[in-house]
Amino acid sequence: MEGTSAVAGISVIDLIHQGWYATYPLILFSVIVTSIVIERVWLLSRLGGAIDSLTVAVCAALEKGDLNAASSLINERMAASPAARVYGALMPMIRKADVEEILECGERRRLDEARLMKRNVWVLGSVAASAPFIGLYGTVIGIIKAFHQMAVMGTGGFAVVAAGISEALVATALGLIVAILALLTFNYLQVKIANLDTLLRVGLGRVIESAALGGVHGPR
């Protein structure tokens, strides 16, 4: 009975401390995931409207044949907008290069921006894949300890080894929670980045088309 009372008095925090070899890495993973998600969501959530507005403004200037105005709009947003960096790469060559060269340059720059938008997102995928295994590792170690204690205590020791079983289950639960959160946010960010990349690709085509309509593109 004393063993039963001791086990009943163990809190979840105590179980986390006891299974530190699995729970501490999982807690660290959860902090890393949270930091990456907050930073990426905060950054990417502002880009969709910024890409659209800059594309409309640059296309309007190019259709009027005003390359200087288009360049000024791009330069004003160069530091904050991936669209500005993509379109800015085209401006020096838009008068003298052919369409294929301009498009190739724009595509290279667009892919560079896509890689920047994906920065650290791979960590979420890695955490989603590895967290359940870390939880499983904690589970296996906890069960090994529990059965070892049962062997030492004899048949009457189940109440005492219940703490080891609880420790094992806490590691499993924590691993699953971290993995699910990481997977959901990883998929969300992947879709968000794909949508932004599509906006950049469409915007790139619109800018080149507007330059041709405004008579800006071509040798002078």
pLDDT at 67: 85
Name the residue range of residue 174's domain. Answer: 2-43+121-200
Q: What is the pLDDT at residue 190?
A: 94
Per residue of the chain (220 residues), what is the pLDDT tens digit?
Answer: 444 444 445 565 766 676 677 788 899 999 999 999 999 999 888 887 888 899 999 999 888 888 889 889 888 888 788 989 998 888 888 777 678 888 888 899 999 999 999 999 999 999 999 999 988 888 888 788 777 777 776 655 566 566 667 767 888 888 999 999 999 999 999 999 999 999 999 999 898 888 887 666 554 4
In the chain, alpha helices (H): 2-8, 12-18, 20-44, 47-63, 67-76, 82-90, 99-117, 121-153, 158-213
Residues 38 and 125 occupy one common structural domain: yes
Examine the domain organization and report whether 39 and 128 are in the same domain: yes
**Is 148 within a domain?**
yes
Q: What's the pTM value of the predicted model, to 2 decimals? A: 0.79
Q: What angle do CA 123, 128, 131 make, to 5 degrees?
A: 105
Are residue 137 and residue 168 in the same domain, yes or no? Answer: yes
Kindly state whether residues 93 and 189 are assigned to the same domain.
Answer: no
Together in a domain, 56 and 84: yes
Chain-centre distance for alpha carbon 56: 28
Q: Which tokens hold the place of 218?
A: 């071509």
d(CA 43, CA 39): 6
Residue 161 near residue 46, CB atoms below 8 Å: no
Residue 142 sits at the vertex; the CA angle it makes with 139 and 1, to the nearest 5 degrees, is 130
